Amino acid sequence: MVNRIDNTRVMNSHKDLEVWQKSMDFAIVMYRLTERFPQEERFGLLSQIRRAAVSIPSNISEGAARNSKKEFVQFLYIALGSASELETQLLIAKKLAYLEDESAVIDDLLSIQRMLMGLIKYLRSRNAVK
């Protein structure tokens, strides 16, 4: 599958996107981090964190598979929303003392958010995608 991002750059797959790669790695970190959560959180905050973390690369890949840049941008915004949701959940986990120091994890998440915004801006600047 080949998706055109613009007239000069060709993306072979969503797997070529650095933001997808970083968000995949981040999802694994979230799974490992939440292994230490209390058992009573299995269907609560732990589940929410994992779901939001998986949602980021999932929406990037689904958007990249769509037929238009406009749809891709829409899915990138969904991924961005999941990242914001995840940030809130991590801050709650910190307040509940489930995390000792969330700052490095939050920094990584903010980096992913910046990358998503950069990709959105790039795609929107091409052919007036709104």
Nearest to 77 by CA among 65, 90, 59, 61: 59
Contact criterion met (CB below 8 Å) for 68 and 75 = no
Can you list the domains of the chain with their CATH numbers?
A: 12-125 (1.20.1440.60)
Q: Got the DSSP string for 95-122? A: HTTS-S--HHHHHHHHHHHHHHHHHHHH
Contact criterion met (CB below 8 Å) for 79 and 60 = yes
Nearest to 84 by CA among 122, 56, 43, 120: 56
Does the pLDDT at position 128 exceed 70? no
Nearest to 20 by CA among 75, 86, 95, 94: 75
H-helix or E-strand spanning residue 11: strand 10-11
Percent of the chain with pLDDT over 90: 69
- For residue 26, how many C-alpha atoms fall within 13 Å in the half-sphere facing its CB? 30
Confidence band of 115 (pLDDT split at 50, 70, 90): very high
Confidence band of 1 (pLDDT split at 50, 70, 90): very low
pLDDT in tens, 32-79: 999 999 999 888 999 999 999 999 999 999 999 988 899 999 999 999
Which pLDDT does position 55 carry in this prediction? 98
